[in-house]
Amino acid sequence: MTKVDAVGVDAAGPEGLKALEARLARDLQDLCYPPANWVPPANPGPQAGGVVGPVVDAVIVGGGMCGLVAWFALTRAGIRNIRIIDAAPEGREGPWVTYARMETLRSPKTLTGPASGQPSLTFQAWYRAQFGPGAWEALDKIPRPMWMDYLRWYRRVLGIAVENETRLDLVEPSGTGDSGTGDLLRLHLSGRGAGQVLARRLVMATGRDGTGGPVIPGFVGGLDRRFWAHSADPIDFAALKGKRVAVVGVGASAIDNAAEALEAGAAEVRHLIRRKEMPRINKFMGIGSYGFTCGFAGMDDAWRWRFMNYSFTSQTPPPRGSTLRVSRHANAFFHFGKAVSALDERDGAVRVSFADGTAYDTDFVILGTGFTVDPLSRVEFGAAAAEIRLWSDVYTPPEGEESRDLGLFPYLNPDFTFQEKHPGRAPWLRLVHCFNYGSTVSLGKVSGDIPAVWVGGEWLGREMARSLYLEDIERHWQALHDYATPELQGDEWRPSEIGADRLVNGLVKAEEV
């Protein structure tokens, strides 16, 4: 008898994947998915300022992992009148096949990630269906490009209609809708889907740089762009063959870019590391749990700050495999205690000056300096970006726990929405959900990293359903009164008078007159 794999088929490959997709479809059908849309339709009110089409209940910006999870969560919550856009071409959403350069994911292969509680939607099920249980057992970490293949499949089997090559340029308030609907947002889009859209909610599922951008240290100064790049930039690694390369930092992205340069034939790659020692322990790995994920947002400000500040200052080490990918090259070097103070062009090369007074020359510099959270840098919010309330506006840490970086994170409501810095100046910010890295200090790592993104999705769906329902409370009240579909047809009983019948031998018999 043939052993049946977990996907319910006795063969892996195309037929196995088809069987998995059939099982997923049945699972969703058994869960009555998708539920009916319960949100009353809204139309532009007289203050909306011109007709731009029907009002959309939610627009999701970002078709990467978080955007797909957000779409699935809202759809499962019965919020069906939604759109999802992404600036990238189809299949290139997120970092996985663009600026992410690691060989494998850091996360364990067993994490369910964006599957949102659906076994047939997990990476494990997808992989086993194609390659079999033996291959799954032999797999160590998930190859990065394969994760993107899985996300493309996720999008296809769920029928998520991402509008690619469409960018959000500006969001602004647009009055109120009709029939008591709350405030609306006017979205200005460019690209293939250029135009204006009215929406009740906006979800910024824009990833690592979703409320900020790459960190470009001041020491770069006016150095010509041909001499340097950030790790998130497109880099022509082939052009670095035979060149001297300096990589600032030793985080995961710095390590991955160093490896790419070495494998492309760089003459040497030198990591310039401000710290005295290599970080070796991923502190959050020791306390990761469903309890921490759900409990973090319930902590007071002091505890939330303390946990995140400790994590940031400890620094997450690069993966062991990625580090070995660099160190196996004889022309790779790790220089600790070398804080860069300046970069200057010298005779067609780059003079790197250090805080300790030393210097050396290189041909190209890669900044593995990560991303900053800075809502002021997000042009989509226009002048209102300055009205986003930050942690620095709310919390003053005790001595020894100061952190400028943490202070730049937005101070969010429990439903991922922004707060105003000055009440009354930009009240529409409460309609924008920050479902990206910017939510980390307020709500934890539930809208960016693989381990808990499914928790964040369910959270977002629940909270948006709550707010939309309460916003339409009068319409739902009226619907309660207006509902008039009978469950009984009137022929299920026969009326009688008391005393008009009697029991004879346990049976009802009409009284004789």
The answer to whether 344 touches 351, Cβ cutoff 8 Å, is yes
Characterize 45-72 residue by residue with b for buried, 16 or more Cβ atoms within 10 angstroms of its Cβ, and e for exposed.
beebbeebeebbbbbbbbbbbbbbbbbb
Q: Which two tokens stand for residue 19?
A: 């069987």
| 397 prior amide bond cis, ω within 30 | no
**For every one of its 513 residues, what pLDDT tens digit does the chain have, with 9 covering 90 and above?**
334 444 454 568 999 999 999 999 999 999 999 999 999 998 886 655 565 678 999 999 999 999 999 999 999 999 999 999 999 999 999 999 999 999 999 889 999 999 999 999 999 999 999 999 999 999 999 999 999 999 999 999 999 999 999 999 999 999 766 555 679 999 999 999 999 999 999 999 999 887 888 999 999 999 999 999 999 999 999 999 999 999 999 999 999 999 999 999 999 999 999 999 999 998 888 888 999 999 999 999 999 999 999 988 888 899 999 999 999 999 999 999 999 999 999 999 999 999 999 999 999 999 999 988 888 778 899 999 999 999 999 999 999 999 999 999 999 999 999 999 999 999 999 999 999 999 999 999 999 889 999 999 999 999 999 999 999 999 999 999 999 999 999 999 999 888 766 666 656 555 544
CA max distance for the chain: 123
- Provide the pLDDT for residue 1: 30
Characterize 202-232 residue by residue with b for buried, 16 or more Cβ atoms within 10 angstroms of its Cβ, and e for exposed.
bbbbbbbbbbbbbbeeebbeebeeebbbbbb
Distances (CA, A) of 396 to 101, 246, 302, 360, 410: 37, 37, 9, 40, 14
- Provide the pLDDT for residue 86: 98
Cα–Cα distance measured from residue 28 to residue 16, given in angstroms and rounded to the nearest whole number: 18
Closest by Cα among 61, 325, 63 to 197? 61
Cα–Cα distance measured from residue 185 to residue 431, given in angstroms and rounded to the nearest whole number: 8
Angle between helices 144-158 and 65-76 (to 10 degrees): 30
Cα–Cα distance measured from residue 113 to residue 187, given in angstroms and rounded to the nearest whole number: 30
The phi, psi pair for 113, rounded to 5°, reads 50, -125
The answer to whether 430 touches 419, Cβ cutoff 8 Å, is yes
Contacts 24+ apart (CB under 8 A), 17-22: 17/126, 17/129, 17/130, 19/129, 20/120, 20/125, 20/126, 20/129, 21/157
Name the residue type at position 257.
N
- Provide the pLDDT for residue 2: 34
The answer to whether 230 touches 216, Cβ cutoff 8 Å, is yes
Name the residue type at position 446.
V
The phi, psi pair for 442, rounded to 5°, reads -80, -40
| Element spanning 157, H or E | helix 144-158
Cα–Cα distance measured from residue 209 to residue 370, given in angstroms and rounded to the nearest whole number: 9
- Provide the pLDDT for residue 508: 57
Q: Which two tokens stand for residue 363?
A: 């041909």
Strand order, beta sheet including 364-367: 228-230, 364-367, 244-248, 268-273, 332-336
Cα–Cα distance measured from residue 250 to residue 366, given in angstroms and rounded to the nearest whole number: 11
Gyration radius (Cα) of the chain, Å: 28
The answer to whether 391 touches 406, Cβ cutoff 8 Å, is yes
From the CB of residue 472, how many other CB atoms can be counted at a distance below 10 Å?
Answer: 22
Using DSSP's 3-state secondary structure scheme, residue 73 falls into helix
